[in-house]
Every structure is written in structure tokens, then in C-alpha cells.
Structure 1
Amino acid sequence: MDQWLTKELAQKIVKKMMLDIPYSINIMNEKGIIIGSGDPQRVGTLHQGAVKALKTGKMVEIYDDHRYEKKGTNEPLVVNSQPVGVIGITGDPQAVRPFCKLVKTAVSLLIEQNMLMGNQEAERNRKAAFLETILNEKKNYPQELIQEAERYRIHLHEENSVVLVKPKEKSSRFETIYKPFPFFKKPNENLYILILQNRKDIQKIAESIWAIDPFAIVAAGLHGLNIASGYRQAKLCLSVCEKLHLQNRFFDYADWKFPAELSQTRIFQETFEETLNLPDLYLETLTAFISHNGNPAETARALMIHRNTLYYRLGRIKELTGKNPFQLFDLFELAYRLLRR
């Protein structure tokens, strides 16, 4: 328990409490050694009254000064049924007894709060480590991982669907939707990962999400036994959406397998052949043209430009790339090069 009642914390508590309490305060660890004191020279010494208080589990009052202890009260400090130290206040026991109980309560609450925060941090780290493992484990699951997955209501011996949700807005209301299901938030990303046993739940969840955020993107991998594969599939769908600036809000890998896998396929030998170096204005125009299936009227409307302006921009794209967006195979190549960015 010494990790929760450290020398630094004990001395900090003593310093702050003595601003309001007109007596010297001592804090001893679970061995009875003074680790915080109003008298710095006593730090590191053994307090016999504290040792007795730890053994009996009761307050020990000392009425006379001795070589290694002074008169005062010594109250054992117990947190979660475990003795973690002793609070001592120097002075006439009758006078300091109420202050001893006050300091004990304050220190107990602080330690319990630190323990709770520490446990929560440990659980977050454990959950993050599990997520990292499950998203990268492509072979048969070891028994330890299967058991760990059960803690999060994930049954690895059954088929699951991995669903990724990328909201445009941040809202605590999303987690209300996710709670009935195993879900994780990717650290440092605005990305939620849900693992569903029943594929029919996907549409219901998506509709609930869009009721909060109409621009949220939902992507789903195939229903299968391997979480890592489903995650990869859903992640590729998200990548396709982002690279092509698609207007769709739902991506099922079963429907988007070709562009998803195409984005991972290298066709050209030279890297420069795959890259698409266009000014941002023309990239925006090209992605809008692809997103609207090569329809000039819809593309112009989406970009809020005149159709002649659109034709001019598409002409410039042809000049800069040598590929005509109005030709099917040229447009296909341009889309491929966008996916490979």
C-alpha cells in the first residue's frame, strides 16, 4: 500500500493541514516509520506509538514525552480493510484527539480517490492492451485471450462483425447507444469500435447514430471468426470514403470490397506513377466528380459552381495528368491514384 501513501504525499498533506491545525502532524507508513512530519528531523525514524497502533488497530494515546516519541494521539489509517499507516498529532491527547480524526478522514479520502483513479487508469491500460492484441491477432486465439475477451462480453469462438463509427461531432450520447454492446474507443482518435454478434444490430445502431450526427460514417467488416480481419476490412472502407470524399455514410465491406482492396494493390512500378499531384482545387473537383458518378450537373451543384467552370477544371485535370475524366478507364485510373495517396 506504500504506493498510495508515499513520502512525497505524506509531507505535502502535513504541510497543508498544518496551515489550519495549530499542532505538529506526523504521518507514518505501514511499518511505523515517519514519512511526513511538521518536524523534518523526525522523518525516517521509527515511531513506537505508531507501531503499537498498527498492531492493535486502535488509537494509541501517549501522555508523556519519550526519546523516540512525544505525547499525542496516533490513529491507524485503514483503507479497504488494509492498514496503510498511522496519523499522529503531537500535543495533549485531550486537545488533539478531534484533530487527529479530522486529519485521518481527510487522508483516507485522498488515498481512496488516488486508488480509484489508479485502478481506472490500470483498467484503461488493460483495455487498450487487449484492443491492440485483438486487432492484430490473425491466427488461432490463445486460451488466455479468449478468457480476457469474455471480460468485455466478446465471444471469440463465435462469429462477430466489427463496426467502426467515425462521428463528425463529439457527443456523450453516442456511448448510450454503444453500451449494450462490446465497444472501444481508439486512443487519440475520434473512432469507435463495436464488436457485434448479431449482424442485424448494425442497421439499428447506424440509424441511432445518424439521429444524433447525420454526418457520422459507419463501416462494417464481414461477419466472421477473426476480429483483426473484420477490423481491417472496415478500416479500408473508411479509408476509401475519406480519400474519395464520398457522400455515403454507410460502408459494408461486402459492397465495397473492390475499391477497398484496390487501394492496397500496387499496379505501377514507379511510385510517381501512383501519386496524383494536383492543386487542392482540382483534387476537390475530381473527388466530387467521382462521388457523383461522373454526372456534371450533380457535381456542379455539389460544388456550387457553374457547369462551364466544372468543364474548365476537368479540362485542366486532363492537361495536368494526361487522363480524361470523361473517359471510363482514365477516370478509373484517376480514382485508383486517389486511393493510393
Structure 2
Amino acid sequence: MKIDQRLAQDIVKRTMKIINYSVNVMNENGIIIASGNPSRIGEHHIGAVLALRNSSVIEIDRELAQKWHNEVRSGINLPITYQSQNIGVIGISGELEEVRYYAQLVKMTAELIVEQAYLLEREQWNRRYREDFILQLLKNNLSESELVEQAQFFAFPLNVTRTVIIIQLTQPSVENVQQLVGYFESNLVNVEIAINAEKQIILLWENEIPTPIHHIMSPLFKKNEYRIAVGLKNCFAKALHLSYQTALSSLRYGQKAFPRKTCYFFEEYKLPALLNNMSHSWYVDELLLPVEKLIENDTKKVLFKTLQQYFLANCDLDRTAQNLFIHINTLRYRLNKIEQITSLSFNKIDEKFILYLSTILKR
């Protein structure tokens, strides 16, 4: 552990709130790196060198300061110790009889600040590498041995089932993503949290998914400010990449097909979510040929919309007609017209399935 200039300046600032004297912090070489008197920064402090060399308190009165040709000022200098090692020196400038009273208090304060900084740094390190482990796990980039080794290191149980939840903010920024992560860390239990390159917040959820899911969000965020996608449920660690990919696919499909919705569940959109990743391939182009022909012959897209509503209503003629506000005979006419243009029949299961797939892929 070393004291850098930022940490040293923090020590000076906080200790000078306690006492009304100028405080200096010297590094492990006895160089002043922070001071209540900024003009002294960069000076080589003889008293600090002696304090480090002898691991002792060095007191400097006026007589000694003059003896050293005023290269130092009267005051007291104490080693800053962390884990039984001297990592720097803290000095208080002033009349020796006055500042001696504050010496141990200032030393203790400095060492507490150093320990706090170390613990914070260690926590940030652990969080950063734990997050990297989670992201590699979700991308399926770890071998069997790497998975076991890193899971053991991070105390990440492999025999627990989890579900991946992805939260996409409408306008993600460093500030609002960190704000939401902070809210989750304070309010969610048994949930791992990571942020991917797209600033999407990823939750590995151990428990039952709450209903409604948007209740997990901070009250500071409105529904139109985010989208939530839930992947394949209850996966062990080795299969978490499947939960992640299905959540991503559900999110992409849901944002495109149902932009007004807030939450998308893979269980609700299994087929379209799975098909969403194959939207740019030659076999998709082949599947879309009939519906492309339909759209070419239907400039107002009345027939295509009818086809969509027909499948959304589970091929129920009465429900489709009601949803479209048309007579059932009008619906039958339109369906016949679709068969003529596409050369596909609703009475043949494979051809009907092609029409159904095309309505999904065309979205």
C-alpha cells in the first residue's frame, strides 16, 4: 500500500478540520506530497526521513530547525503505519509544545483514512473482477476448470439456479445506471449484478420472479424510461448463458414488436425471440418470399395486418373479426385473397406455419 497524492491531500484536508495547524503528508521517500501550505509540496523533509528510518516520532523545535538551516520547520512528525509497515509520514507544523498534544490523534486519523481507502480499493477490485467473471460466464467464455476455479474464488455457488433479467434504460448514462445499481444493491437480496458494454444492467435472480416484475425498479424511474427482459428461468451456472441469450432476444424482439410494453418474458415470446437472431439469413429471405409478394400486391397492408391479427387471435375467426372491427365474411374474403396471392393454403399445416413464421420475421 502506498500513499498517492490524492489520498495524501484527503488526509491533509480531513485532519486540518480537526486541528488548527498546517499538516504535511510525506511519502515513503520523505517527499512532501500534500500540505496545508501548497508551496511546500515537492520538498524533501529531513524529519520525515528520520521518522521513516527510525520508525519513531521526530520532534523539531526552533533550535533544531535553525541547526538544520531552516530546511524544516518546528513541529512533530510521525510515521504512518499500515499492516506493520511505514508507508509515509504525517507532520504538524507549529510550536512543539502546542502540536505535541494533537500528534497521536492526527496519526490515528491518518491511519484510519489509509485503512478506509485500502478497504474501498479492495472492494472495488473485488466488484470489478467479480463482474468480469459474471460477464464471461454469461458469454460462455469459461472452460469447465476456469468456471469451477473462479466460482470458488468469488464464493459463487454453482448448484444454485438463477434467472437472467436484463434492464435497458431508455437513455442510459453513467449517472443513472450507477444510481439504479446502487438502489438494487441496497434493496435486493441474493442477486448478482453486472453491467455489460451496452450499459444494460444484468441481474442474476435466485428467487421466484416477482409479479409484476417492474416492482423491482426504483420509484425514481418511470415505466417509459426502461425495458425489462426475463430469460430462460431457473438455470444452473453452466446454462446461464442460455438464460442471458434468451433475455437478450426477448428484449430485442419486444422493443421492435411491442415498443409500448415495459416487460418481456421469454416464456411469453419463445418462438419469435428465438427467430429474432436469424432475421438476416438466406433461409429467412426464402421464408419471407410469399409475404413479400403479399405486401407488393397490398399497398395499404390491409391483408398483411389481417394475417397478423389472425395469428395473434390463435386463428380464431370470430376473435380476429372482432379485433379488426369487420364482418366475419369480410375476414373470410381477405384470407382467401391471401391464399391466392401467396399460393399458400391455411388448410395445409406446413404452409400455414410458413405464413405464421413470416408474420413474426417481418416485424
Scaled by the length of structure 1, the TM-score of the pair is: 0.65
5 Å matches for 1:295-306? Answer: none
Alpha-carbon spacing, 1:140–1:8, altered in 2? closer, same or farther (3 Å): closer
Distance 1:247 1:293 in 2: 23
Distance 1:21 1:190 in 2: 45
Distance 2:142 2:194 in 1: 24
- Give the SS at the match of 1:32: coil
5 Å matches for 1:321-332? Answer: 328=352, 329-332=354-357
CA contact (8 A) 1:297 1:307 kept: no
5 Å matches for 1:139-150? Answer: 140-141=143-144, 143-150=145-152
Alpha-carbon spacing, 1:239–1:97, altered in 2? closer, same or farther (3 Å): same
Distance 1:98 1:286 in 2: 87
CA contact (8 A) 1:323 1:331 kept: no
Which position in structure 2 is the counterpart of 1:185?
194
1:165 is the counterpart of 2:165: yes
Distance 1:58 1:249 in 2: 65
Q: CA deviation at 1:55?
A: 4.2
Which position in structure 1 is the counterpart of 2:77?
74
CA contact (8 A) 2:26 2:48 kept: yes
The aligned amino acid for 1:191 is: I
CA RMSD of aligned residues (A): 5.2
Which position in structure 1 is the counterpart of 2:24?
26
| Per-residue Cα deviation, 1:268-324 (whole angstroms, up to 9, x for no partner) | 459x97999x99xx99999777555466886899xxx88259x99xx8xx99xx889
1:307 is the counterpart of 2:310: no
Alpha-carbon spacing, 1:163–1:13, altered in 2? closer, same or farther (3 Å): closer
1:264 is the counterpart of 2:267: no
1:251 is the counterpart of 2:269: no
Distance 1:113 1:120 in 2: 11
Alpha-carbon spacing, 1:92–1:296, altered in 2? closer, same or farther (3 Å): farther
Which position in structure 1 is the counterpart of 2:232?
220
Which position in structure 2 is the counterpart of 1:61?
59
Distance 1:216 1:231 in 2: 13
Q: CA deviation at 1:167?
A: 6.2
Residue 231 (structure 1) aligned to one of 244, 263, 274: 244
Which position in structure 1 is the counterpart of 2:91?
88
CA contact (8 A) 2:231 2:245 kept: no
The aligned amino acid for 1:232 is: Q
The aligned amino acid for 1:60 is: I
The aligned amino acid for 2:204 is: I
Paired positions, count: 311
> Any unmatched runs of 5+ in structure 1?
197-203
Q: CA deviation at 1:28?
A: 1.1
- Give the SS at the match of 2:244: helix
Percent sequence identity over aligned pairs:
25
Q: CA deviation at 1:73?
A: 0.8
Distance 1:56 1:135 in 2: 53
| Per-residue Cα deviation, 1:234-289 (whole angstroms, up to 9, x for no partner) | 43344444444389964349x93x4443323332459x97999x99xx99999777
Which position in structure 2 is the counterpart of 1:115?
118
CA contact (8 A) 2:193 2:201 kept: no
